[in-house]
Chains A and B, each alone.
Chain A
Amino acid sequence: MHPKTRSRLLMTLVGWIAAGLIFFPIFWMILTSFKPEVEAIATPPKLFFTPTLENYITVRERADYVHFALNSVIISVGATFLATLIAVPASYAMAFFPGRKTKDLLLWMLSTKMMPAVGVLIPIYLLFRDMGAIDTRWGLIVVYTLMNLPIVVWMLYTFFKEVPKDILEAGRMDGAKPKQEVWMLLMPLSLPGIASTALLSIILCWNEAFWSLNLTTSEAAPLTTFIASFSAPEGLFWAKLSAASTIAIAPILVFGWMSQRQLVRGLTFGAVK
């Protein structure tokens, strides 16, 4: 065999083993979700079995699952929409009309991300209690909006920086007002960037667990809280837990895979390309 082919085959083996080991817990969860409950906890573990959709049907029939999923969707999308709405003008201004302090401003925004949530849990909790915002969707939307705003501003800023200035200038020559400029030129031109920013924001909201565990109980609880409730006293319905978990992570996993490239830029604020 040609040595190059051989090393490629070896790499294929090593690469797939590594990927398989990392992915294994997720694979095992998905597999378990198709097992009857008895076989899910069987020892030795069963690799071959007659798959069933029973668990998914049970989880779906429990009306509250839909309720939690809906909360996740509404809160993630709501917070992402709000954050984008506030961030677009700011990023536009900073990307196209930078001042001497623009960089400081961006860094300051980033620094707010570094405040540990636990450090401000009590005030937020008390403020929320007094405003009746505990366990409400809008309460969590506000928190998530603010939590993601710095990242959204940063990502949009890096994407806007890449839009050729000439195009916007040409538009201005033709008499476009700033508002039209943003709406009719900048937004369409940077649509992929805006889309991946929104995806990242939705991913972060969807998986956020600290605030959702502490600020919601049932009414506004998203899937993170719902899944956590399975941990309570030996709630060993592995197959059902697996089915619920699988549906909980599936949409965001697909989102994440789709936007992995942009994700790097968003997560490192453009420091690594």
Chain B
Amino acid sequence: MVGTTTTAPAPAITVNVGGRSQRNVRTLPLIAPSVVVLFLWMIVPLAMTLWFSFQYYNLLDPSVGGFAGIENYTFLLTDPSLWTAMANTLFLVFWVLVITVGLGTLLAVLFDQEFYGRSIARLLAIAPFFVMPTVSALIWKNMLMHPVNGLFAFFARSLGLPAIDFFGNFPLTSVIIIVAWQWLPFALLILLTAIQSLDNEQKEAARMDGAGPFAMFFFIILPHLGRAISVVIMIETIFLLSVFAEIYVTTSGGPGLASTNLAFLIYLRALREYDVGGASAAGVIAVVLANIVAIFLVRSIAKNIAD
């Protein structure tokens, strides 16, 4: 990783596991396999991506080749599709985060209340997280959002409204809805666990002091959730930056580039246009973008590791 190495130095240099610990167990041979395979998995493809990004390289046309300098980058950076894809990526991440964290917090408070059949209701609410992305994309696309036979179209017509052509008119919004549905349970699960770890005595004390439900929420629960929310935001961001299957199955990035994010753009360049050089340059940009985020993530989690 480019950026994270500043916070966590490369293991090859820093691991001090070669020596014998006080208990006479050699830890190096135990740890080495994990470190070696992960290091290779990280560094080899990354180095290759970096290398290709400075080459002319087309998978179909062997006559294209040679050193390209920064031309892949200049071409990419002056191509509006990169900026569209970048904007779409950030737009998607932002809105899914707003929806999942906002609704997730409310739902977590709700599912923390005691009610009949709570544990079953909770299981139903976290279910979408276990649905594979290709399945959820297809259900939403065909059975719910289909402009003719879909359930939403039926509801709209029953209310005397015109049916919405979700993927035709609001492709990115539709993808956001699907992705948010998938990630809402994740936020709910994490935030609910965090709420349940809240000290009951503290809640009682606040109640004794006359705190109503709103004061309770804003002054006791929300501050307590701070860490959990930051963890949710950071982990979701990492996954949301590279949303792929949902777009692949529903809109294929279209119409035009309306729902193409960085991940899908690279896929289009590399495996549909066979332009390895250009795709690699976009890949490097994606890695840099993720690293900027990762620095924050590593820092926030580092603080939270219990000894």
Contact = CB atoms under 8 A, between A and B. Distances in A.
Interface of A: 8-9, 11-12, 14-16, 18-20, 22-23, 25-26, 28-29, 32, 41, 43-45, 86-87, 89-90, 92-94, 96-97, 99-101, 103-127, 146, 149-150, 153, 172, 178, 203, 206-207, 209-210, 213-214, 223-225, 227-228, 230-231, 236, 238, 241-242, 245, 248-249, 252-253, 255-257, 260-261, 263-264, 267-273
B253 interface: no
B283 A120 contact: yes
Contacts of B186: 267
Contacts of A18: 107, 110, 121, 125
A249 B297 contact: no
Given A15-B115, A25-B181, A120-B49, A268 B238 contact: no
B90 to A, nearest CB: 14
Given A108-B4, A116-B290, A224 B16 contact: no
Interface of B: 1, 4, 7-11, 14-17, 21, 23, 25, 27, 29-31, 33-35, 37-38, 41-42, 44-46, 48-49, 52, 107, 110-111, 113-118, 121-144, 148-149, 151, 154, 158, 181, 184-186, 189-190, 193-194, 197, 227-228, 231, 235, 238, 241-242, 244-245, 248-250, 262-263, 266-267, 270-271, 276, 279-280, 283-284, 286-287, 289-291, 293-294, 297-298, 301-302, 304-306
Contacts of B48: 120, 122-123, 126-127
B116 A12 contact: yes
Given A115-B287, A224-B133, A245 B138 contact: yes
B287 A116 contact: yes
Contact of B124 (A19, A117, A122, A214): A19
Given A93-B30, A268-B190, A271-B231, A119 B267 contact: no
B31 A89 contact: yes
A105 B31 contact: yes
B29 to A, nearest CB: 8
* Closest 8 A/B residue pairs (Cβ): A209-B245, A120-B45, A123-B48, A256-B130, A19-B121, A89-B30, A123-B45, A119-B287
Nearest to A227: B134
Given A99-B27, A105-B11, A114 B135 contact: no
